[in-house]
């Protein structure tokens, strides 16, 4: 059975990620939880927010599409794109907790309304391109999460943001959208700037403005190709949309740039969330490498749903014992077989985690063992918070 050769000496254990210290540091104003889908990002964000609030921080947690029961446990039965106080938390340390769920279309609409004349806003909100962009296309969520983060942090010039944001909260915990890749969230501002600065958009705008200053061989080719591919009606709608939106673009770009600067500053820290599985750890590795490359502030890695056993009996030994049991000890046999499966899982996870830490020894981490129940109330969230903060 023992087909795995003896492992070389295990790498030195990863440094411990002390999340209590991260949350207690008043310089930390934004914590961003990222990672691939299904690793418990929303739960981790909520548990960190709750723990920080009960330690005295004034916290708002921005969550995107949480499981409904978790939303209920936070008192978020009614969600309307506005932070709502979470009841039932311990406020003796002077902290508070608000929570909100991002409504991407509403956030987009608010930006349009706040930055245009009422007439312009009506025109944009009614444009079919705007409607498709703001509601049914994926990718908009990342832009809007950024926009909302900027608002909550109270950057000057934000729609709905102001000094009020800073007074109300001193810590924002962000649960990133369930994106194609965790990196999409980071790329959103860059994409937006490229979109706004792109020659393509200027090209689209040009015909709507009369004299074709851009006229050239390339331009004629492009516009006739676009006519051919898209048809003239779609181009007209697109031009109207782009023209109507142009006034908003500058503001978008400025805010995206300042949000990105904020993300790179010492006031922000990223927490990468994973489970001890190949896919999740690979995605986490991409993210860690990217943050390191761009010198963005990384706290470390949270590994959720780690299996453990307090019974130091190997899988092989347990199976051998199960075979030798008398017939009537059926339950013992089944328990031993299940223990063997558990030990195999424990070993497989340990190997994957060792590999991660071996290749990225500087990344601090904390392990959260797998819970027997779902996280659906404040009490269980508190337990998760305690496990997050506990040295393994």
Partner 1 sequence: MSRASRAGLASTGAAPAPPRHGLHIVSGKGGTGKTTIAAALACALAVQGRRVLLCEVEGRGGIAELFGVAALTGDEERRLTRTPAGGHVHGLSIDAEDALLEYLDTFYHLGLAGRALDRFGAIDFATSIAPGLRDVLLTGKVYEAVRRGPTGRPGAYDAVVLDAPPTGRISQFLNVHAAVSGLARVGPIRNQADSIMEMLRSATTVVHLVTLLEDMPVTETEEAVQALAPTRIEVGSVVENMVIPNPLELDALERAAAGAVELAVPGWSPAQNRALSAELAVDAARTLAQQERHLRLTGLGLPLAAVPLDPAGIDEAALFTIAAQLRDQLALEAA
Of 321 and 364, which has the nearer Cβ to partner 1?
321
**Cβ within 8 Å of residue 221, ≥6 positions away:** none
Of 91 and 200, which has the nearer Cβ to partner 1?
200
Under rule CB under 8 A, which residues in 353-392 are in contact with partner 1? 372, 374
Least gap, CB of 200 to partner 1 (angstroms) = 4
Token look-up 């990196």 returns 183
**Torsion angle (degrees, nearest 10) of CA 291, 145, 281, 44:** 110
Under rule CB under 8 A, which residues in 296-325 are in contact with partner 1? 309-311, 313, 321, 325
Under rule CB under 8 A, which residues in 275-294 are in contact with partner 1? 275, 277-280, 283
Instruction: Number of residues interacting with partner 1: please give it, by CB under 8 A.
Output: 72
The closest alpha carbon to 62, from 103, 95, 123, belongs to 103
Q: Is 26 one of the binding residues for partner 1 (CB under 8 A)?
A: no
From residue 40, how far is each of 21, 111, 178, 342, 368 by CA, in Å?
Answer: 21, 30, 11, 21, 11
**Residues 27-66 vs partner 1: string with x where CB under 8 A?**
---------xxxx-------------------------x-
Least gap, CB of 98 to partner 1 (angstroms) = 24
Buried-exposed string 167-187: b where 16+ CB fall within 10 A, e elsewhere: eebbbbbbbbbbbeebbbbbe
- CA–CA separation, 32 and 150 (whole Å): 13
From residue 120, how far is each of 14, 84, 107, 244, 369 by CA, in Å?
Answer: 55, 31, 17, 7, 53
- CA–CA separation, 99 and 150 (whole Å): 16
Under rule CB under 8 A, which residues in 102-121 are in contact with partner 1? none
Under rule CB under 8 A, which residues in 197-256 are in contact with partner 1? 198-201, 203, 218-219, 221-222, 224-226, 228-234, 237
Of 225 and 247, which has the nearer Cβ to partner 1?
225
Under rule CB under 8 A, which residues in 125-144 are in contact with partner 1? 128-129, 131-133, 136-140, 143
Least gap, CB of 42 to partner 1 (angstroms) = 9
* End-to-end Cα, the chain, rounded Å: 30
Q: Which stretch binds partner 1 (CB under 8 A): 12-20, 155-163, 192-200, 360-368?
A: 192-200
Q: Give me the count of residues in the chain.
A: 392
């Amino acid at each position: 059975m023992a087909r795995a050769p003896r492992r070389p000496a295990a790498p030195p254990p990863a440094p411990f990620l002390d999340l209590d210290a991260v949350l207690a540091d008043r310089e930390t104003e934004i914590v961003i939880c990222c990672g691939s889908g299904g690793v418990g990002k929303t739960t981790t964000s909520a548990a960190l927010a709750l723990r920080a609030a009960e330690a005295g921080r004034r916290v708002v947690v921005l969550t995107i599409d949480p499981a409904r029961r978790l939303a209920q446990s936070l008192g978020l039965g009614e969600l309307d794109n506005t932070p709502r106080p979470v009841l039932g938390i311990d406020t003796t340390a002077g902290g508070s907790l608000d929570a909100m769920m991002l409504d991407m279309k509403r956030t987009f609409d608010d930006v349009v309304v706040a930055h245009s004349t009422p007439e312009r806003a009506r025109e944009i909100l009614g444009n079919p391109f705007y409607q498709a962009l703001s509601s049914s296309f994926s990718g908009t969520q990342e832009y809007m999460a950024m926009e909302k983060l900027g608002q909550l942090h109270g950057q000057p010039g934000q729609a709905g943001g102001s000094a009020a944001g800073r007074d109300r909260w001193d810590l924002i915990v962000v649960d990133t959208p369930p994106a194609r890749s965790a990196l999409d969230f980071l790329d959103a501002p860059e994409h937006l700037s490229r979109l706004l600065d792109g020659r393509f958009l200027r090209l689209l705008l040009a015909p709507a403005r009369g004299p074709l200053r851009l006229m050239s061989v390339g331009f004629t080719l492009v516009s006739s190709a676009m006519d051919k591919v898209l048809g003239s009606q779609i181009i007209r709608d697109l031009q109207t949309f782009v023209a109507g939106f142009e006034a908003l673009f500058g503001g978008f770009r400025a805010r995206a740039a300042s949000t990105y600067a904020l993300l790179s500053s010492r006031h922000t820290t990223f927490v990468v969330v994973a489970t001890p599985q190949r896919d999740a750890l690979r995605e986490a590795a991409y993210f860690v490498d990217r943050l390191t490359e761009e010198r963005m502030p990384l706290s470390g890695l949270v590994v959720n749903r780690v299996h453990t056993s307090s019974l130091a009996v190997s899988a092989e030994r347990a199976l051998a014992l199960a075979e030798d049991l008398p017939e009537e000890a059926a339950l013992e046999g089944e328990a031993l077989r299940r223990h063997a499966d558990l030990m195999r899982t424990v070993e497989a996870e340990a190997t994957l985690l060792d590999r991660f830490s071996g290749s990225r020894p500087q990344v601090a981490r904390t392990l959260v063992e797998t819970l027997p129940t779902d996280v659906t109330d404040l009490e269980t969230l508190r337990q998760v918070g305690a496990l997050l903060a506990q040295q393994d």
